Amino acid sequence: MFDFGVVLNNLEFLLVQGLLGLGAFGGGTLALAVPAIVLGFLLGIFVGLARLARSPLVRLPAAAYVEFFRGVPLVMVIFWIWFIMPQLLGMAIPEYEVALTAFVIFEAAYFGEIVRAGIQSVPRGQVEAAASVGLTGAQTMRWVVLPQALRNMVPSLVTQMIVLFKDTSLASIIGYVDLTKAAQIVNNREIRPLELYLFIAVVYWIFAYSLSRLARRYEHRIQAA
């Protein structure tokens, strides 16, 4: 009944093309996931800091941004970008740019909340102590608050990275050839969905699970410290 030969015969296409993006189609799950995580987090830092700004002119738009993107499905955001970018820029946009833009904009809302919670978890006394030794606001943020906040953020950051990593499978909806799309392509020819989808499930699982183990190890270490 099961025939995992289909996986072995197409292993190179699935992994080299789908996962790494080194085949004729370009694409690739990792080629999308890694930049999306890095850029999403960077934008998230700004969103999180803006959420804590004293001026409502900065704080309220940031709050609206977060509430908006946390209230709509990622698939919807991908369709928006897919449709609206070519209209705004007046030319066709490759799936990669569409997907990356959607992920960065969407995930920055979630990363922003993590950054905000991380900064708020630093005791007020730390800020007061920094002020009393004569540090400016920016110096306090840079040398006292952010280093401690980052440490507190690590567990939820990793969780969000895992979510983002899994979500990159949704880029296959607009035709981006990642691991999921590669499995679909092979399945269209071989019609062995059970084996193929189980196989990519395991590949996704290995990445996500290792990340979560790493996070747990780190958590224990900072708790012990």
**Which residue among 5, 94, 147, 193 contacts other proteins (CB under 8 A)?**
193
User: Under the criterion CB under 8 A, does residue 123 sit at the interface with other proteins?
Assistant: no
User: Under the criterion CB under 8 A, does residue 13 sit at the interface with other proteins?
Assistant: no
Location of structure tokens 């567990």? 155
User: Under the criterion CB under 8 A, does residue 212 sit at the interface with other proteins?
Assistant: yes
Structure tokens at 31: 């080629």
Structure tokens at 101: 């833009």
CB of 187 to other proteins, least distance (A): 7
Q: Using the rule CB under 8 A, give the single segment among 17-25, 40-48, 133-141, 194-202 that binds other proteins.
A: 194-202
165/49 Cα distance (integer angstroms): 24
CB of 84 to other proteins, least distance (A): 8
Q: Using the rule CB under 8 A, give the single segment among 16-24, 41-49, 50-58, 72-80 that binds other proteins.
A: 72-80
Are the C-beta atoms of 130 and 140 separated by less than 8 Å?
yes
**Which residue among 38, 201, 214, 222 contacts other proteins (CB under 8 A)?**
201
Q: Which phi and psi angles does 27 have, rounded to 5°? A: 70, -140
CB of 31 to other proteins, least distance (A): 16
Are the C-beta atoms of 158 and 209 separated by less than 8 Å?
no
54/62 Cα distance (integer angstroms): 12
User: Under the criterion CB under 8 A, does residue 73 sit at the interface with other proteins?
Assistant: yes
**Which residue among 24, 54, 56, 88 contacts other proteins (CB under 8 A)?**
88
Are the C-beta atoms of 32 and 178 separated by less than 8 Å?
yes
Are the C-beta atoms of 82 and 18 separated by less than 8 Å?
no
Which positions from 16 through 55 interact with other proteins, judged by CB under 8 A?
Answer: none
